Amino acid sequence: MARVAVVTGGTRGIGRAICEGLAKAGYKVAANYGGNDAVAEAFSRETGIRSYCFDVGNFAAVEDGIRRITADLGPVEILVNNAGITRDGTLQRMNFEQWNAVIQTNLSSCFNMCRAVIDGMRERNFGRIVNIGSINGQAGQYGQVNYAAAKSGIHGFTKALAQEGAGKGITVNAIAPGYIDTEMVRAVPPNVLEKIVARIPVGRLGHAEEIARGVLFLVADDAGFVTGSTLSINGGQHMY
For position 192 contacting ligand CAA by CB under 6 A, the verdict is: yes
Q: Which residues of 22-48 are buried (b: 16+ CB within 10 A; e: fewer)?
A: bbebebbbbbbbbeeeeebeebeeebe
**Size of the residue set binding ligand CAA (CB under 6 A):** 19
For position 9 contacting ligand CAA by CB under 6 A, the verdict is: no
Residue among 75, 89, 120, 140 that touches ligand CAA (CB under 6 A): 89
- Whole-angstrom distance, CA of residue 94 vs CA of residue 188: 16
Nearest residue to ligand CAA, by Cβ distance, number only:
143
For position 179 contacting ligand CAA by CB under 6 A, the verdict is: yes
* Smallest distance from ligand CAA to CB 89, Å: 5
Residue among 41, 90, 163, 164 that touches ligand CAA (CB under 6 A): 90
For position 52 contacting ligand CAA by CB under 6 A, the verdict is: no
- Asked if 62 and 113 touch (Cβ cutoff 8 Å), the reply is yes
For position 232 contacting ligand CAA by CB under 6 A, the verdict is: no
Query: 112 or 136, CB closer to ligand CAA?
Result: 136
DSSP 8-state assignment for residue 220: S
* Smallest distance from ligand CAA to CB 88, Å: 4
Query: 99 or 179, CB closer to ligand CAA?
Result: 179
DSSP 8-state assignment for residue 40: H
Query: 57 or 143, CB closer to ligand CAA?
Result: 143
- Whole-angstrom distance, CA of residue 124 vs CA of residue 177: 30
- Of 136-155, binders to ligand CAA (CB under 6 A) are 136, 141-144, 147
- Whole-angstrom distance, CA of residue 65 vs CA of residue 7: 12
Query: 47 or 182, CB closer to ligand CAA?
Result: 182
Q: In Å, how far are 28, 79, 133, 151 from 72, measured between CA atoms?
A: 10, 16, 29, 31
- Asked if 233 and 214 touch (Cβ cutoff 8 Å), the reply is yes
- Choose the binding region for ligand CAA from 54-62, 130-138, 157-165, 217-225 (rule: CB under 6 A): 130-138
DSSP 8-state assignment for residue 35: S
